[in-house]
Structure 1
Amino acid sequence: MGFAVVALSYAAAGLAAWGLVAVLPGRHPLAVTLYADLLATIVVFAASMVVRNASLYDPYWSVAPAVIVAAWVWQAGLSGRRIAVLVLVLVWAVRLTANWASSWRGLGHEDWRYVQLREQRPRLLPWWLLNLTGIQLMPTLVVFAGLLAVWPAVKTNEHSFGLIDVLAVVVTGTSIAVEATADRQLRRHARPGRTLDSGLWRYSRHPNYLGEIGFWWGLWLFALAAAPSWWWTVAGPITMVLLFTFVSVPLMDRRSLSRRPGYADHMRRVPALLPRIVSVAARPSPERRDGVP
């Protein structure tokens, strides 16, 4: 039942977005895409209010980019760079959406972060407004900022496929693999009250977030390869870094501190995102640096 509601809600959102695109001929395609993206988000928001579950929006993070990029590539035609971007985005989207679907337990299950926001919000702040702006519109705008780098990659031909494109494929593909591996390790080895400190989680407290951030940096490299004048779209991956560094990571760390004994020590030993080049445990103590035992 829950997945049927999600499917119907997203179908309605897609139809609304398509209808808006159809009635806005002559506008810049980027602007039209943004308007359609926002309208689709509002439709999903309305559905989430009807079923009283903000998690209805969760797969939008991965579903919307796949639809948008596929539409852009379909309009532009196929080329080496466009195929590479499309395939990578689709692989990322399918995997991330499947990961969400495997962990979502239906309309009776809502992400703990949304429950916390609802319970801790200021009394004068309506839940519908917080849900619309903080949970749904804000991520939509962040993802759209990340997708700005894809536009020149699929719409311009200032430079042919080259070494920067190869680097972009490597960075984007590796990031998808890192995120997928981290999610798989989390599903297999995470236990209530236990801190996962094996596999990728030994080197980063949030390797899944690290992979997600890397994915958006990889897409930006495609923009740099296709049209260096679009370098300013670096604002997209920078926004992703800020979102995960100052919102997602602190939220998860605070929750783990309250639920996992020894997590404070884990935080001291393991960096939040980027692994240390030299492990703290492997560094010589101050007494031994000058050769004195």
Structure 2
Amino acid sequence: INLAFWLASLGLGKTWPVDFIWSCFPPLLCLLIIVREPDTGVCERRIVGCTLVATWGFRLTHNFVSRGGVGHEDWRYSDMRRTFGRHFWWASLFSVFLGQAAFLFSACLSLYGVLCAPEPLTATDAAGAAVCFGAVLLEAASDLQMDAFVAARREHRTDATVIDRGLWMWSRHPNYLGELTWWWGLYLL
């Protein structure tokens, strides 16, 4: 998948497809596991796991698309492009695409256990599912609050340069806290 996205980035002249991988790889991995491991069948664990991953992926994809991620290159990759010059095409394969692929694949390893274990859900599984669901809610609320703040700045309804209300009053990056919490919840599940 990452190689296809890398080739697409070469054709587009921008690396934004790598950011899209984060929201589509885990749901695709769920489908692959279900197809390759059909013996587990339909069970609570698969339903809960796939529903949570789909919900998480939908939120992340919506956030990426609605904030103009499609077509927009992250400033860090633009800096790398300037630094590597004509060698950026191969440097991006290793430092951007394959590096993130390895990290994302290792983060998703627990999905195999979630989707292939035929045992009924346990209290730990329920706690993991609750943590995952709470993390998605935290991320979604953070997104909405940030979007409202950005709109207020754009419309000159506030002079604040930093959001310090709502969840942002309690955490500098509640969206990142939600993302980190999501992966721990998935591990628990």
TM-score, normalised via structure 1 length: 0.57
User: Is 1:73–1:86's contact at 8 Å kept on the other side of the alignment?
Assistant: no
- For 2:91, the equivalent position in structure 1 comes to 130
> 1:216 and 1:204 mapped to 2: Cα distance?
18
> 2:176 and 2:75 mapped to 1: Cα distance?
18
Which one-letter code corresponds to 1:163 in the other structure?
A
User: Is 1:82–1:153's contact at 8 Å kept on the other side of the alignment?
Assistant: yes
Of 156, 161, 166, the residue aligned with 1:194 is 161
Aligned counterparts, 1:43-54, within 5 A: 43-54=4-15
Instruction: Could you tell me which runs of 5 or more consecutive residues in structure 1 were left unpaired when the two chains were aligned.
Output: 1-39, 223-293
Confirm or deny that 1:103 pairs with 2:67.
Answer: yes
**How many Å apart are 1:106 and its aligned residue?**
4.8
Confirm or deny that 1:220 pairs with 2:187.
Answer: yes
Confirm or deny that 1:93 pairs with 2:57.
Answer: yes
- Percent identity, aligned pairs only, is 31
**How many Å apart are 1:202 and its aligned residue?**
0.9
**How many Å apart are 1:133 and its aligned residue?**
1.7
Question: Structure 1 pair 153/134, CA: closer, same or farther in 2 (3 Å)?
Answer: same
Question: Structure 1 pair 126/61, CA: closer, same or farther in 2 (3 Å)?
Answer: same
Question: Structure 1 pair 95/105, CA: closer, same or farther in 2 (3 Å)?
Answer: closer
Aligned counterparts, 1:89-168, within 5 A: 89-104=53-68, 106-107=70-71, 109-119=72-82, 121=83, 126-157=87-118, 159-168=119-128
**How many Å apart are 1:175 and its aligned residue?**
0.5
> 2:80 and 2:163 mapped to 1: Cα distance?
26
Question: Structure 1 pair 113/80, CA: closer, same or farther in 2 (3 Å)?
Answer: same
| Per-residue Cα deviation, 1:148-185 (whole angstroms, up to 9, x for no partner) | 1111111123x431100110111000011111111111
- For 1:65, the equivalent position in structure 2 comes to 26
SS of the equivalent of 2:171 reads coil
SS of the equivalent of 2:16 reads helix
User: Is 1:149–1:220's contact at 8 Å kept on the other side of the alignment?
Assistant: yes
> 2:45 and 2:8 mapped to 1: Cα distance?
37
> 1:99 and 1:71 mapped to 2: Cα distance?
25
Q: CA RMSD in A?
A: 1.9
Question: Structure 1 pair 105/65, CA: closer, same or farther in 2 (3 Å)?
Answer: closer
Instruction: Could you tell me which runs of 5 or more consecutive residues in structure 2 were left unpaired when the two chains were aligned.
Output: 155-159
**How many Å apart are 1:48 and its aligned residue?**
0.5
> 2:69 and 2:25 mapped to 1: Cα distance?
22
User: Is 2:16–2:70's contact at 8 Å kept on the other side of the alignment?
Assistant: no
| Per-residue Cα deviation, 1:205-225 (whole angstroms, up to 9, x for no partner) | 111111111111111111xxx
Count of aligned pairs: 179
Using CA pairs under 8 Å that are at least 6 residues apart, name the structure with larger relative contact order, 1 or 2: 2
